[in-house]
Amino acid sequence: MITNIKEYLLYNNFNELAVDILTLAKEILPDSFLFLSAIVNNEQHILKTSPNTEHINIREGISLPLKVAVCSRIDFTKGIPLVYEDISKESSLDDIKGIYSNTNVNAYLGVPVILRDGEVFGTLCAVHEKAAQFNEKSIKLIEKIAKMFSYYLELEQLAYRDHLTGSYNRHFLERYFNEFAHEDGAIFFLDLDCFKEINDSLGHDTGDLILKEVALRMEAVMRQRNINGAVFRLGGDEFIINLVGKLSVQEIEEIAEAFIERLSSWDFQIKEFNLSVSIGIVQYTNTMKLTLNKLLKKADNALYRAKTSGKSTYCFF
């Protein structure tokens, strides 16, 4: 459920561990150029590379569409490593050979990094400028290193994700806000209307399913509108959205209306309860020096006014 490459960079000791992973892999494949990549939103992002002793044109921070990346050929469902000992002779790669000739890559080993729930992180890759062979023992050892790294990622997700909805939790909200406090932004405080009645009438199992669906719909709105920010669950039916970047009042209103529209259309079983959402909004600039707690209190105040004004609406602080 990773939707933003910035999440990884906020994990504890991510950079240090990524360097350690590549160092271990380098012990196994000393002649290879190695890199760790993440796959997010149909793009491959190069997160960390080993020292480059060849003329490999792959650098940290670059990204490319997944459809033109060799790693798109990896079978992530089965988790099987992909090996090309001489890309120049692979007719199946004719459509992307031009890209890889520009990177000076001709031998490729791509080991998938996959969490136990099937979520794909990305790849641990070893490449060469010229054709080369990768022996089976080395591939197996690189797979073990990739699995070790996946365990670390799972532990980080447990620490920062809400166990029910998969949204980020309050702990990660503080880290996220502090990371981007130097930018302008906005806080949305969302609370579901009539959710308690649904819980009381249909039971907590139904309530939990609704909360999961609410989180999915919020994430869908963020993706569809290409919104820079993240969704967090505080608890119960309360969610926070931290938008990052300078936005006009009109743009914020359009985003709020998109959330209200998306969270007010339900099937017949839920429709009778008029389930919707109310939103309190507070904007901030990087010169205000406001803490997250102060902003949340302001957004909560605006939310209260939205609730008392008829629900299914939004109010600014």
Per-residue pLDDT tens digits for 190-232: 999 988 888 888 888 988 999 999 999 999 999 899 899 999 9
Query: Would you say residue 121 lies in a domain?
Result: yes
Q: Which of 162, 191, 193, 237 is catalytic?
A: 237
pLDDT (0 to 100) of residue 156 = 87
What is the per-residue pLDDT for 284? 95
> How far is residue 54's CA from residue 58's CA, in Å, rounded to a whole number?
11
Residue that wins the pLDDT comparison between 256 and 194: 256
**Co-location of 143 and 100 in the same domain:** yes
pLDDT at 1 (0 to 100): 47
Do 279 and 185 belong together in one domain? yes
Average pLDDT, the chain: 90
User: How far from the centroid of its chain's Cα atoms is residue 36's Cα?
Assistant: 16
Q: What is the pTM of this model?
A: 0.77
Q: Is a pLDDT exceeding 50 seen at residue 69?
A: yes
Domain identity same for 64 and 90 = yes
Q: Are residues 219 and 267 in the same domain?
A: yes
**What count of Cα atoms within 13 Å lies in the side-chain half-sphere of residue 315?**
18
Structure tokens at 1: 């459920």
From first CA to last CA, the distance across the chain in angstroms is 31
> Looking at residues 38-45, what average pLDDT do you find?
89
Going by C-alpha positions, the residue among 210, 124, 123 that lies closest to residue 165 is 210
Q: Domain with 248 in it: what CATH number? A: 3.30.70.270
Same domain, 242 and 300: yes
Domain with 152, as residue range(s), is 6-160
Looking at the structure, tell me whether residues 289 and 221 fall in a common domain: yes
Q: How much is the pLDDT for 271? A: 65
Same domain, 58 and 118: yes
Is the pLDDT at 3 greater than 80, yes or no? no
Q: What is the pLDDT of residue 2?
A: 54
Question: Is it the case that residue 90 has pLDDT exceeding 80?
Answer: yes
Classify strands 229-235 and 63-65 as parallel, antiparallel or unpaired.
unpaired
Is residue 1 in some structural domain? no
Per residue in 52-68, pLDDT (tens digit) is 777 888 999 999 898 88
Among residues 160, 191, 212, which one ends one of the domains? 160
The whole-angstrom separation of Cα 274 and Cα 160 is 32
Residue 37 to residue 61: CA distance in whole angstroms: 10
Are 11 and 106 within one domain?
A: yes
Band (93; pLDDT cuts 50, 70, 90): confident
Give 271 or 56, the one with higher predicted confidence: 56
Q: At what angle do helices 14-28 and 136-160 cross, to 10 degrees?
A: 170
Question: Given this model, what pLDDT does residue 4 score?
Answer: 63
Percentage of the chain lying above the pLDDT 70 cut: 97
With respect to residue 165, please indicate whether it lies within any of the assigned structural domains: no
Domain shared by 149 and 174, yes or no: no
Which distant-in-sequence residues (6+ apart) come within 8 Å of 174 by Cβ? 292
* CATH number of the CATH domain containing 104: 3.30.450.40
Calculate mean pLDDT across residues 80-96. Answer: 89
265 domain-assigned: yes
CA 284 to chain centre: 24
**Any catalytic annotation for residue 237?**
yes
